[in-house]
Amino acid sequence: MLTKLLCKLNLGHHWLLEEEPKGTFRRRCTRCGKYDHRTQTWTGHLDSGDRPPQHDSRKYY
């Protein structure tokens, strides 16, 4: 309940970086689904858990 209230007040979003089909990135809140309109100017640090999975086909086993 508290997390929903924080999202409505724009105080407690949990942003996840998502890659769009055209190759750009957008941030979306995992709690309420809102997209961050400031993504284009955002240059903050992301934790490794917040990054989208890498699609590297050159993995070595």
Task: Tell me if 22 is assigned to some domain.
Answer: yes
Q: Please name which of 48, 30, 50, 27 lies closest in space to residue 39, comparing C-alpha atoms.
A: 27
Look up residue 48 and give its amino acid: S
Which domain covers residue 30, as residue numbers? 15-42
The verdict on pTM exceeding 0.85 is no
Low-confidence ranges of the chain (pLDDT < 70): 39-61
Under a CB-based contact definition with an 8 Å cutoff, are residues 4 and 32 in contact?
Answer: yes
Task: Tell me if 57 is assigned to some domain.
Answer: no
Residue 39 CB contacts under 8 Å (≥ 6 apart), including other chains = 25, 26, 27
pLDDT at 53: 61
pLDDT at 24: 79
pLDDT at 33: 87
Q: How many independent structural domains does the chain possess?
A: 1
Task: Tell me if 51 is assigned to some domain.
Answer: no
Task: Tell me if 4 is assigned to some domain.
Answer: no
Task: Tell me if 38 is assigned to some domain.
Answer: yes
Under a CB-based contact definition with an 8 Å cutoff, are residues 26 and 39 in contact?
Answer: yes
pLDDT at 55: 60
